């Protein structure tokens, strides 16, 4: 997810970025991998995922973004990285096999962007608060309650794991407008 809004939330379960990590290519819509549901991370995936995470963080920070899901880099695993800390701070969060287990009835609208839809933004309405269950890289299960930007980012990245892009939450008209702008930007070299 890309979003320049600051957020005061701090959170645990972090993995640090490796400064010298090689950057990964981010897939851009309408790449078909972005519409596929990712598979559950199994114990035998841990070593490969552990090696991949520093590169995911480096890629996300470089973009710059606040979230990156494995399908966005062509990896069909239910894993994502998130960091919604204020500028100049880092609070990286690794989400393995995340799922929203509870959400508020109250909704909130927030402008969203996505690293797989560069320079495209639209207001998306989502539950205002969520409780997410996930595992960390050590396999420990954790639950996290979130609201504000963190709640939006968590929902956005979990959507990626289910083959859903933020534009899929828009009306057909708005989604088509965003996708046409993206195609135009890519054609002119802007995206």
Delineate the domains of the chain, giving CATH numbers in brackets: 32-187 (3.90.45.10)
Classify residue 5 by its DSSP letter.
Answer: -
pLDDT in tens, 131-153: 999 999 999 999 999 999 999 99
Question: Which residue in 155, 8, 127 sits closest to 67, CA to CA?
Answer: 155
Given 3-state DSSP classes, what are the helix, strand and coil percentages for the chain, each rounded to the nearest 5?
A: 30, 30, 40
The predicted model scores a pTM of 0.88
User: What number is the average pLDDT over the span 77-94?
Assistant: 95
Task: In whole angstroms, give the CA distance from residue 54 to residue 171.
Answer: 36
Residues 7-31 as b/e (b if ≥16 CB within 10 A, e otherwise) read: bebebebbbebeeebeebebbbbee
User: What percent of the chain has pLDDT above 70?
Assistant: 90
The answer to whether 114 is a known ligand-binding residue is yes
pLDDT in tens, 105-125: 999 999 999 999 999 999 999
Respond yes or no: is residue 99 known to be catalytic.
no
Helix (H) or strand (E) holding 129: strand 129-135
pLDDT band at 3 (very low <50, low <70, confident <90, very high): low
Choice among 17, 112, 128, 157 that is catalytic: 157
The answer to whether 103 is a known ligand-binding residue is no
Question: Which residue in 27, 64, 66 sits closest to 154, CA to CA?
Answer: 66
Task: In whole angstroms, give the CA distance from residue 139 to residue 122.
Answer: 35
């Amino acid at each position: 997810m890309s979003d320049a809004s600051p957020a005061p939330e701090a959170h645990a379960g972090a993995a640090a970025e490796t400064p010298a990590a090689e950057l990964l290519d981010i897939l851009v819509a309408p790449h078909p991998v972005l519409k596929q549901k990712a598979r559950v991370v199994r114990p035998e995936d841990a070593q490969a995922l552990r090696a991949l995470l520093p590169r995911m963080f480096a890629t996300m920070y470089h973009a710059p973004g606040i979230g990156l899901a494995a399908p966005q880099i062509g990896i069909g695993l239910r894993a994502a990285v998130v960091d919604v800390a204020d500028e100049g701070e880092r609070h990286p969060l690794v989400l393995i096999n995340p799922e929203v287990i509870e959400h508020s009835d109250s909704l909130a609208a927030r402008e969203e962007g996505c690293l797989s839809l560069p320079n495209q933004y639209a207001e998306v309405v989502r539950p205002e608060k969520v409780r997410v269950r996930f595992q960390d890289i050590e396999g420990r299960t954790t639950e996290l309650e979130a609201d504000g930007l963190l709640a939006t980012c968590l929902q956005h990245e979990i959507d990626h794991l289910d083959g859903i892009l933020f534009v899929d939450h828009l009306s057909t008209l708005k989604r088509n407008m965003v996708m046409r702008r993206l195609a135009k930007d890519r054609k002119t070299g802007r995206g």
